[in-house]
């Protein structure tokens, strides 16, 4: 049975832009852009996966199969 995102218990940490830039060189880092597809198409961080916020709960296990990987989720400041 697939777990929903809400059922996965994680410790969440907020990163500063500086901290994120330091981590971008780590190829094992998974970047997730939760903006709508239209916004993602207009621009995103290289290597980021688009997983719109509205689909996050239903598609997270499909798109992000490695729950042990370090995952950074980002969005626009008004989202």
Strand runs (DSSP E) across 7-64, as ranges?
30-33, 49-50
* The predicted structure's pLDDT at residue 25: 87
Examine residue 22 and state whether it is found in any structural domain, yes or no.
no
User: Could you tell me which residues are beta bridge partners of residue 34?
Assistant: none
- The total of structural domains in the chain comes to 1
What is the distance between the alpha carbons of residues 33 and 40, in angstroms, rounded to a whole number?
Answer: 7
Examine residue 68 and state whether it is found in any structural domain, yes or no.
yes
Question: Is 79 a residue whose pLDDT tops 60?
Answer: no
What is the CATH number for 62? Answer: 3.40.250.10
Examine residue 6 and state whether it is found in any structural domain, yes or no.
no
pLDDT tens-digit series, residues 58-71: 999 899 878 788 89
Examine residue 7 and state whether it is found in any structural domain, yes or no.
no
Examine residue 48 and state whether it is found in any structural domain, yes or no.
yes
Domain extent at residue 36: 28-79
What is the distance between the alpha carbons of residues 63 and 69, in angstroms, rounded to a whole number?
Answer: 12
Examine residue 47 and state whether it is found in any structural domain, yes or no.
yes
Catalogue the active-site residues: 75
Kind and range of the H or E element at 45?
A: none
pLDDT tens-digit series, residues 3-54: 555 555 456 788 898 999 999 988 888 999 999 999 999 999 999 999 999 9
């Amino acid at each position: 049975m697939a777990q929903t995102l809400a059922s996965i218990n994680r410790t969440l940490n907020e990163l500063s832009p500086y901290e994120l830039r330091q981590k971008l060189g780590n190829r094992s880092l998974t970047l997730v852009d939760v903006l709508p597809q239209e916004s993602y198409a207009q621009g995103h961080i290289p290597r980021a996966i688009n997983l719109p916020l509205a689909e996050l709960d239903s598609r997270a296990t499909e798109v992000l199969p490695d729950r042990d990987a370090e995952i950074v989720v980002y969005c626009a400041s008004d989202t």
